[in-house]
A and B are shown apart, each in its own frame.
Chain A
Amino acid sequence: MRILTDRRRAAALFGLLLPLLLWSAAVRAVPEIQQWTTAKGAEVLFVAAPEIPMVDVRVVFAAGAARDGDQPGIGALTNALLAEGAGKLTADQIAERFDAVGANFGNDSLRDMSIFTLRSLTEPKRLKPALETFALVLGQPTFPEEAFLRERGRMLVALRYEQQSPSKIAERRFYAGLYGQHPYAVPPLGTAESLAALTVPALKAHYDRNYVAKNAVISIVGDLDRAAAEAIAEQVTAGLASGQAAAPLPKPEPRKEAERIEVAHPSTQTHVWMGQLGVQRDDPDYIPLYVGNHILGGSGLVSRISQEVREERGLAYSAYSGLSAMEARGPFIMGLQTANENRDEAMQVLRRTFAEFVAEGPTDEELERAIKNITGGYPMQIDSNSDIASYLSMIGFYDLPLDYLETFPKRIEAVTAKQIRETFQRRFHPERLLVVTVGRS
């Protein structure tokens, strides 16, 4: 077991939510993205990467927690059960088949997406069995009762873990408070009660409805030609019904007034989450808000929030803001953790930093630095096959134009300080923040 302790966390936290999308034809030709639709109707995005004899296949369904409806947790549990029995294979046999060829299978479930990944060598003796097993898992899951009970039990344990974590408690209360009746309020792991009410037939119905080709986006990056990629896309969707794409999510209702939620927890720090509704992925204000957030609290130590809270006052290890662009409007979150006795001071600094930024916008110098940082760092965002596969999923899932990455730096460079200020003033309201604190202040 290796213990590393690194000095910044904000970037890592929001790196997950908000990948920087930076790409420019000026320095490196944008890898050619090929796009087509399988016979069953799944969208495919493919980039040939011949340098390493391996392939990444990423299949994403619009079947995250936002599709749970009145069965919170069903999306995450369905996602977890696909590899627990498929075709005639047991969970043990599925695991053996992947491990025996050194393939990495992964699955994850978010609010928008249900994700399945396969990484394999392209050597046919390895790739063929890996793909066969992957296709079975996606297309012919059997949902054994025994696995259902066990995985539900493990989700209950995960829920209890959340209850001892101040940041997880804050996150759950924040989403619930921000989204009210909107599907994003549904906690991805559900609740003890909602998990108890789930059944295998309910999961099968959820699978039949959502795990269909027209609700899927397949990304393929690796040492393959187009014909081989086409064959893979057909193979992994072969077991799926054609079905229908999920209906668009409803629009969340913006809050009209401030709200304060205080949760007592036996921790030495108070975790603070503040925010309001942010942006949806195709939001016309996305670019100015993105650059503004970068300056405010999205760029690690050099951002305003980190400067004020950490560098000036030593009040927190991690202090940040983040915009999570999702299918419907994702959250805009500002957060920090500080010793209980410093809570009020730290919150005041955070509120003031935000209010000043909304009132005045960035300075020209800040904007110039941010643009240099975002556009200058673009090559690092796409320097691996796994990065590219993630971007392909995002482009396909959110219906972004294929030249999105190519045009992104130009759109960043076109942003003005005035535009950021006006957009922040129109979209953000420091007097209407939802504030959640968890701790013992």
Chain B
Amino acid sequence: MRRVSAAVLTAALVVAAPVAGAGYEETTHERVLENGMKIIVREDHRAPVVVSQVWYKVGSAYEHGGITGISHVLEHMMFQGTPAHPPGEFSRIVAEHGGDENAFTSRDYTAYYQKLEKSRLPISFELESDRMRHLLLGEEQFQKERRVVMEERRLRTEDKPSALTYEQFMATAFHVSPYHHPVIGWMDDLEHLTSDDLRAWYQAWYAPNNAILIVAGDVEPQAVFDMAEKRFGSLEPSVIPEPKPRQEPPQRGERQVVVRVPAELPVLYQGYKVPSLKTAEEAWKPYALEVLAGVLDGGDSARFTRELIRGQQVASSAGAGYDLYALNDTLFMLSGVPAEGRTMAELQQALAEQVERVRTELVDPAELERIKAQVTAGKVYERDSVFYQAMQIGKLEAIGLDWRESEKYVERIEAVTPEQVRQVAREFLDREQLTVARLEPLPKPAEDATKNASGG
């Protein structure tokens, strides 16, 4: 049993009430259709609104060299028509019903959503069930959408020095793991994608038994299940490929990469190899890493803001982060931008001292209590967003975790002790497991400077 001061204990007891009342067990309902499609309904009757999301267990972590970015290009193509709904009509129908729609692709999943007034939910089911199995993938639309995605890559990565650096950072940290590849894909791979590649990818992964339907909002669960049965129940399941594990071999020493491009600001990324909740052998460790991230960067009272930005004034910004819900082994990230007049070497030194401290000293119980107070409050705040609630369910289910795991989040965090935080820091924040990427800005090319001067 962890020791806490009487004052802290009182505070913890006082807040227990609203948190306990926030349990989702009674308002969340599950069904699996005969074709293997899982449906999760979260009731929230605050507003006459519904969020409908279809998650597919495919993303860049399922890709391999040569076709990187294909999951994301396919996400774009999902708006480019079926025999029943020609290109563009999907978006038009959703818009006409006052809906808000979009989609997102990450390393571990691809998801599509509509946000609608509650009576329009059938629209979502009709369109999603149609494009789950009947996508056109027309050559003309494909060529055009490939150009759009290349523009997207230019916008998000090529012309953003920090994003270019992050991409090189990930490619350096992971040699074998598919996390080596950027979600949006390498430009050369995008240039050489074909519509046949897309067709094969679609056939492999887009099937009811590889999908999760999440509906959250002002709905009646049985009515949703009935409607889902009607719309999705007749879709044929597929044999879903089993991806090779591609386990990253042990790292044998620190790795460094430097990116030099025209830029104004240096940026530093550091990452240590760590397990996720999915891959960890001991379930408490990911939660201890989560608390560790909070000790360093959980709010303005956490160490990075207090000590690196305010105290030593060595960083203009500094962050620590950890993705608990990753499909594969992931990274415990540190990042930062040096303060005005301070060097990258000074920032790296300051981060090294922070790491050394969590490896050797126990965190102060008051720090831990602040993190826990933020977590318990956050659990209440999340009820203000139906969309966020659906996202939480999807993120877990898409990597094969039960959504109830997120219900245990608060209690798991509460159970973490100062000793456990130090233990994971010692085990994982190991210099031999570190990858460092630095952006070293080059001056703006002379031709641009001259042109601006003369162009006035």
The answer to whether A and B assemble together is yes
A-side residues, CB < 8 A to B, are 1-9, 11, 27-28, 51-54, 83, 91-92, 94-96, 98-105, 119-121, 123, 125-126, 147, 150, 153-154, 156-157, 160-161, 163-166, 262-269, 299-302, 307, 310-318, 337-339, 369, 372-380, 382-386, 440
A5 adjacent to B377 (CB under 8 Å): no
A377 adjacent to B91 (CB under 8 Å): no
- Which of B15, B444, B448 has a CB less than 8 Å from the CB of A121? B15
B151 adjacent to A121 (CB under 8 Å): no
B11 adjacent to A6 (CB under 8 Å): no
Instruction: Tell me the minimal C-beta distance from A123 to chain B in angstroms.
Output: 6
- Which of B46, B106, B378 has a CB less than 8 Å from the CB of A383? B46
User: Closest residue to A154 on the B side, CB-wise?
Assistant: B316
Stretch with Cβ within 8 A of A (4 or more), from B129-137, B236-244, B248-256, B305-313: B305-313
Could you list 27 A-B pairs, sorted by A, with CB under 8 Å? A4-B105, A5-B104, A53-B380, A98-B301, A99-B301, A99-B302, A102-B378, A153-B313, A153-B339, A157-B339, A160-B264, A161-B264, A164-B263, A265-B444, A266-B448, A268-B154, A269-B154, A299-B95, A314-B144, A317-B152, A376-B117, A377-B100, A378-B117, A379-B48, A379-B117, A380-B115, A380-B116
B91 adjacent to A268 (CB under 8 Å): no
B97 adjacent to A376 (CB under 8 Å): yes
Instruction: Tell me the minimal C-beta distance from A390 to chain B in angstroms.
Output: 12
How far does the alpha carbon of A120 sit from the alpha carbon of B18 in the complex, in Å?
12
How far does the alpha carbon of A156 sit from the alpha carbon of B338 in the complex, in Å?
12
Q: How many residues of B contact A (CB 8 A)?
A: 104
Query: Is B86 in the interface zone, CB < 8 Å from A?
Result: no
Instruction: Tell me the minimal C-beta distance from A23 to chain B in angstroms.
Output: 11
Instruction: Tell me the minimal C-beta distance from B151 to chain A in angstroms.
Output: 4
Point out which of B118, B263, B300, B321 has the most chain A C-beta atoms below 10 A from its C-beta: B300
B91 adjacent to A153 (CB under 8 Å): no
B337 adjacent to A157 (CB under 8 Å): yes
B316 adjacent to A157 (CB under 8 Å): yes
Chain B positions 384-417 with a Cβ under 8 Å from a chain A Cβ: 384-386
Instruction: Tell me the minimal C-beta distance from B53 to chain A in angstroms.
Output: 13
Instruction: Tell me the minimal C-beta distance from A410 to chain B in angstroms.
Output: 16
Query: Is B122 in the interface zone, CB < 8 Å from A?
Result: no
B262 adjacent to A262 (CB under 8 Å): no
B-side residues, CB < 8 A to A, are 10-11, 14-15, 17-18, 21, 46-49, 72, 75-76, 79, 87-88, 91-92, 95-100, 102-107, 115-118, 120, 143-152, 154-156, 158-161, 182-184, 262-265, 298-302, 305-306, 309-310, 313, 316-317, 321, 323, 331, 333, 337, 339-341, 366, 369-370, 373-378, 380-381, 383-386, 441, 444-445, 447-449, 451-452, 455
B321 adjacent to A7 (CB under 8 Å): no
- Chain B hits for A52, CB < 8 A: 380, 383-384
Point out which of A268, A300, A337 has the most chain B C-beta atoms below 10 A from its C-beta: A268
Question: A7-B76, A102-B373, A268-B154 in contact; A372/B455 too (CB < 8 A)?
Answer: no
- Chain A hits for B184, CB < 8 A: 5
Question: A7-B103, A317-B152, A372-B96 in contact; A95/B48 too (CB < 8 A)?
Answer: no
A269 adjacent to B155 (CB under 8 Å): yes
A264 adjacent to B447 (CB under 8 Å): yes
- Which of A11, A54, A99 has a CB less than 8 Å from the CB of B373? A99
- Chain B hits for A375, CB < 8 A: 98
How far does the alpha carbon of A153 sit from the alpha carbon of B309 in the complex, in Å?
11
How far does the alpha carbon of A2 sit from the alpha carbon of B61 in the complex, in Å?
13
User: Closest residue to A303 on the B side, CB-wise?
Assistant: B95
B98 adjacent to A376 (CB under 8 Å): yes
A123 adjacent to B18 (CB under 8 Å): yes
A337 adjacent to B154 (CB under 8 Å): yes
A338 adjacent to B98 (CB under 8 Å): no
- Chain B hits for A147, CB < 8 A: 310
How far does the alpha carbon of A3 sit from the alpha carbon of B98 in the complex, in Å?
28
How far does the alpha carbon of A332 sit from the alpha carbon of B72 in the complex, in Å?
32
B102 adjacent to A8 (CB under 8 Å): yes
Instruction: Tell me the minimal C-beta distance from B278 to chain A in angstroms.
Output: 14
Instruction: Tell me the minimal C-beta distance from B377 to chain A in angstroms.
Output: 3
- Chain A hits for B340, CB < 8 A: 153-154, 156-157
How far does the alpha carbon of A120 sit from the alpha carbon of B11 in the complex, in Å?
15
A161 adjacent to B92 (CB under 8 Å): no
3 closest A-B pairs by CB: A376-B98, A102-B377, A377-B98
- Which of B95, B106, B306, B376 has a CB less than 8 Å from the CB of A302? B95
- Which of A54, A120, A268, A302 has a CB less than 8 Å from the CB of B384? A54
How far does the alpha carbon of A95 sit from the alpha carbon of B302 in the complex, in Å?
9
User: Closest residue to B388 on the A side, CB-wise?
Assistant: A384
B97 adjacent to A372 (CB under 8 Å): yes
How far does the alpha carbon of A84 sit from the alpha carbon of B321 in the complex, in Å?
25
- Chain B hits for A165, CB < 8 A: 160
How far does the alpha carbon of A119 sit from the alpha carbon of B448 in the complex, in Å?
46
A316 adjacent to B151 (CB under 8 Å): yes
A6 adjacent to B102 (CB under 8 Å): yes
- Which of A7, A96, A339, A383 has a CB less than 8 Å from the CB of B301? A96
A95 adjacent to B323 (CB under 8 Å): no
- Which of B48, B155, B299, B449 has a CB less than 8 Å from the CB of A337? B155
How far does the alpha carbon of A308 sit from the alpha carbon of B444 in the complex, in Å?
34
Instruction: Tell me the minimal C-beta distance from A221 to chain B in angstroms.
Output: 10
